[in-house]
Amino acid sequence: MIAHEVGHHVQTLLGVSQQMQAARQRGAQMEGDNGLLVRQELQADCFAGVWAYHAQQRHDWLEEGDLEQALNAANAIVFSSRARVAWSRMPSPTAPRRSG
């Protein structure tokens, strides 16, 4: 979790966060599987992995099971995100049905 937040900090330092805000103001697609928010989170995960690798090389701070725990947490977040997207695409029971 800390590594992921470090990833967001790197994005801020690189100007990615500012670019995301500008994209939002231009009306870019933010939500959904191809949305910029998903891409931003994946990039933060990538930066997190780079940071964690180098921190481990330098400090040898990971314990047995830490990696598996992190992967399980990441998988749960991805599943949760996909579930929200799928749920948002389900028709509302009160919405009028489309014909055709």
Q: What is the DSSP letter of 31?
A: S
Q: What are the structural domain ranges in the chain?
A: 2-89
Choice between 46 and 84, residue whose per-residue pLDDT is larger: 46
Contact (CB, 8 A) for 47 and 13: no
Choice between 57 and 93, residue whose per-residue pLDDT is larger: 57
pTM for the structure as a whole: 0.66
Q: Could you count the other beta carbons within 10 Å of the beta carbon of residue 47?
A: 21
State the pLDDT at residue 89: 53
